Amino acid sequence: METPNLDPPPREALSPNGTAETDHVEQPAAARQLVGRLDATEATIGVVGLGYVGLPLAAEYATQGFETRGIDLDEDRVDCLNAGDNYIEDLDDDAIDGLVETGRLRATAHYDGGDEVDVWFLCVPTPVTETNEPDPSYIEAATRAIAPHLRPGQLVVLKSTTYPGTTEDVVAPILKEEGPDDLTLGEDVFLAFSPERIDPGNDEYTTANTPVVAGGMTETGTEMARRALGQIIADVHTVSGPKAAEMEKLLENIFRSVNIALANELAQFCERVDGLSMWEVVDAAATKPFGFMPFYPGPGVGGHCIPIDPHYLAKVAKTHDFETSFITLSAQVNEEMPRHVVDAVIETIAREPVRLQDAGVLVLGVAFKGNVSDTRRSPADEIIRLLREKGVGQIRYHDPHVDTYAAPGGDGPTEVPSVGLTPEVLRRHEATVIVTDHDAVDPGLVAEHAPAIVDTRNALGSIEDPALREKITLLGAG
């Protein structure tokens, strides 16, 4: 087939009434068509990737009356959703079941009928390789899958967290090479980036009420993204283009990574000073009503974004002859925290009358943050791997949100036995390490019955009994 023309036309804007803001420039018919379908709630929404980002997004559009199709290559996930079964903690089970029942939300494992979709959202993972290089293969595969289904009047929005330039240098060329003939990007098909802002376990800020950022490859593309996202989100902030939106997302997460690293490094210093607690210091500093934001130490960072976003930026920086020394160092500080925690656990066991190979360690919490079931890149992964490497005899875990869990190892993931949290279970483990601060875990029960505790989250901060506090090794306290 002929090479399609997907080079962007001159940048122009679309005013809210559907006319071009650029003087004497007629707005593309495809843009007017898309706006009309969106405003009439007649547009079909396609969401590629039905995980923590994609399913809440799809559910929100379906809730607002749009026919919404979710595409996921995991057929078990597709079957589960089409049966009305919800698998995302932050979504309401009955609400998902109702949306499926009405037919507004359905899932498939293929792209058949993709030409009927008006707005594509790509919500696929963006991992890093073993050498911390960004891996855009999921984005590339999803883009190739939708490319043959492009037609005039469609919008493609990449939502995957990634490095600056991905939309323009990865997605756009694939659409150009593998899309249908005679389509012009910005005239017939519109492309934009709008980063996800999902905070698992946050009941206050959801997909619907969290402001989002969007930047298109043309001004019309930006306006199309604003119009599409504005159907479900009140506050859509537009930027000059995809690179600014991609970089904005990295800034959000690197900001957190850097400040957590600062707290972690100061915590290690506080441990060397008798009577000094980083937790007390942060709480005291947080009384200042301006110029300070509290960040607390912990066993390491987890989830999809914070552990890997610094590596995205480092890769792009090298191509521009720039070294992100400060950001890279911060990431290294966070990545070393599991080893610091394991050292504390080993020292704790050393004070007990037991050999390391006969000792039992109970890991409290394997989710990456409190009150969620998400175990992606949890600090528990590395903590358990290192405990095994040190030769600890028995490692078990308790997590009220995670029924089964496998920790990574040299020969692949290995199941870790799950146990209930009882006085007997606590007493038969020489050391208990609190990795995740779930509200469902009773601090009094742990403090009373565990022989020795390494608390990485200050989860037992409410315990005042001096005899019980003697058993607690608190991360960041001397």
Residues 303 and 408 in one domain: yes
Q: CA-CA distance, 48 to 62, in Å (whole number)?
A: 15
Residue recorded with tokens 């390490």: 433
- pLDDT of 200 reads 85
270 and 227 together in one domain = no
Mean confidence (pLDDT) of the chain:
92
- Give a yes or no: residue 23 inside a domain: no
Residue 198: band (very low, low, confident or very high) from pLDDT cuts 50, 70, 90:
confident
Is the residue at 249 inside a domain? no
Mean of the pLDDT values across residues 214-228? 97
Say if pTM beats, i.e. exceeds, 0.85. yes
Give the model confidence (pLDDT) of 269-282 as tens digits: 999 999 999 999 99
Contact 153/184 with Cβ under 8 angstroms?
no
383 and 284 belong to one structural domain: yes
Domain limits for position 455: 262-474
Pair (230, 134) in one structural domain:
yes
- Residues 110 and 201 grouped into a single domain: yes
Residue 16 is assigned to a structural domain of this protein: no
269 and 204 fall within a common domain: no
**335: in domain:** yes
Annotated catalytic residue 123: no
Any domain includes 59: yes
Instruction: Report which of residues 359 and 18 the model is more confident about.
Output: 359
Say if 253 falls within a structural domain. Answer: no
Tell me: pLDDT of 1 over 70.
no
Same domain for 421 and 274: yes
393: in domain: yes
**Does one domain contain both 330 and 204?**
no
On whether both 100 and 215 belong to a single domain, the answer is yes
Same structural domain, 113 and 73: yes
pLDDT of the residue at 26:
67
Q: Label residue 167 by pLDDT band (50, 70, 90).
A: very high
Q: What pLDDT is recorded for position 315?
A: 78
Structurally, how many domains does the chain consist of? 2
Contact 398, 362 (CB under 8 A): yes
Domain edge (last residue) among 208, 240, 272: 240
Share of the chain above pLDDT 70, in %: 95
Q: Nearest 10 degrees: CA dihedral of 82, 86, 90, 93? A: 110
* pLDDT score recorded for residue 354: 93
Higher local confidence (pLDDT), 420 or 24: 420
- For residue 371, what is the domain's CATH number? 3.40.50.720
What local confidence, expressed as pLDDT, does residue 233 receive? 96
Q: Does a structural domain hold residue 10?
A: no
Q: What is the pLDDT of residues 25-57, one digit of tens each?
A: 567 999 999 999 999 999 999 999 999 999 999
Catalytic residue among 80, 123, 270, 305: 305
The pLDDT tens digits for 58-67 are 999 999 999 9
Residues 337 and 270 in one domain: yes
> Do both 236 and 273 map to the same domain?
no
